[in-house]
Structure formats: C-alpha cells, structure tokens
C-alpha cells in the first residue's frame, strides 16, 4: 500500500545508521515491526501475577519423565 508520510528525516537517517539499513522503506518497516513486538511483549508482561492456579496444581509432577 503506497502511503505519503511526513517523517522526520534526521530521525529516519539516524535509524538507518543505527540499524545498518540501506533504504528508508526497510527502516520504516523494521521500526514498525519492532514497535508491534514491543507492545505485544508489554501485554504479556502485564499478565504476570494475573494467572491463578488451582490449589492442587503440581508443577513438579509435570517434570516427571518416567
């Protein structure tokens, strides 16, 4: 999908240099991918401490390889 965006050129060049990326398109796509991944990680981290296990849940039993 072709889109016209007004992007801070200095920021884009800095991102290209840091990432060692040759094109602006690659830089923007990588930045968007990393943004999405980070937000998804934050959602997962927010779940820590939110899961209630049954009182009879035995995590050690699941390790049994016999």
**Residue 23 and residue 31: Cα distance in Å, rounded?**
12
pTM of structure: 0.65
Quote the pLDDT of residue 64: 65
Residue 27 in contact with residue 15, Cβ under 8 Å? yes
pLDDT at 19 over 80: yes
**Residue 55 and residue 61: Cα distance in Å, rounded?**
14
Write out pLDDT tens, residues 27-56: 999 999 999 999 999 988 888 877 777 888
Q: Measure CA 42 to chain center.
A: 8
Segment holding 33, helix H or strand E = helix 24-46
């Amino acid at each position: 999908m072709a889109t016209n965006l007004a992007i801070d050129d200095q920021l884009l060049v800095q991102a290209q240099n840091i990432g060692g990326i040759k094109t602006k398109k690659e830089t923007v796509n990588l930045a968007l991918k990393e943004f999405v991944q980070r937000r998804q990680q934050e959602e997962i981290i927010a779940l820590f401490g939110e899961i209630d296990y049954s009182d009879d849940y035995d995590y050690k039993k699941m390790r049994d390889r016999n």
